[in-house]
Amino acid sequence: MKTVTLTFNNVTSEISSNAQGMFDLTQIWLTWMGGDSAKSPSEFSTDCPKGVSLIQESQIMPSPVEPSQLTGTLGALYAYAMWCDAEFYAIVAQAFRDLADRELDNADRAASSVVHKHTQRVVELYRMNNGNDMEYLKVLVKAMAKDSKAIRHFLLSIDKQLAAEESPPRWNFWSDANDLMEATEFAYRRSCSSETFDLSKYYGYEQNIVMCKDMLGKLEE
């Protein structure tokens, strides 16, 4: 559910999407347009049917709770707000941009926390050298297989913590990482046809292999 707070015409209130991701256009009309019949959702859907259909994923339908009320997707909400008042549209658009920024920040913090946790676990396994380190690393690399840059940053963050250790756990880590990167590249080549092959993605895998071999070479000097 998405919820934003809007202030317009000296009225401050919240709007939220329902379980289907739809917004109550009738509520918006009554709250901020004062129930002006010329700006009702039904008038909008009659006045601008082609404009609404041109907006990607826009749709207007009766509310499942109250059929006399009209609900719309976010695209339809934007279109309705613009139709009602340009200033109101700007306020609505900014509110949802701010919401998207907050959601992205929260997602980044959560992802950073997960990466940190798994980095710590990999470091612990290689320090203990208990034989499970390779399998754990394999699972994590497989989960990130579509993002070679994320894998590269992940491997380097592990190395940074292992750098203070004696060379055996660090060398073992990069040796395992090299094997996994080569296996990832090979699996990608086998899974692709000439039509689906992505040269930039393949190049990313190649860069990771080169990085692993460079690290192993430095540790062997």
Per-residue model confidence (pLDDT) at position 145: 65
Per-residue model confidence (pLDDT) at position 67: 55
Same domain as 111, residue 153: yes
- pLDDT beneath 70, residues of the chain: 49-68, 103-117, 129-133, 143, 145-146, 165-168, 194-195
- Work out how many domains the chain is built from and give that number: 2
Same domain as 56, residue 11: yes
Same domain as 215, residue 117: yes
Per-residue model confidence (pLDDT) at position 218: 87
Same domain as 80, residue 48: yes
Is residue 207, in this structure, part of any structural domain at all?
yes
Range of the domain at 147: 107-220
Per-residue model confidence (pLDDT) at position 208: 87
CA distance 97 to 6: 13
Is residue 91, in this structure, part of any structural domain at all?
no
Ramachandran angles phi, psi of 14, nearest 5°: -105, 150
List Cβ neighbours of 115 (8 Å cut-off, separation of 6 or more).
154, 157
Same domain as 111, residue 209: yes
The HSE-up count of residue 219 (CA atoms within 13 Å, CB side) is 21
Per-residue model confidence (pLDDT) at position 61: 67
CA distance 112 to 90: 33
Is residue 92, in this structure, part of any structural domain at all?
no
Per-residue model confidence (pLDDT) at position 56: 40
**pTM for this predicted structure:** 0.48
Is residue 214, in this structure, part of any structural domain at all?
yes
Q: Encode pLDDT of 80-92 as tens digits.
A: 898 999 999 999 9
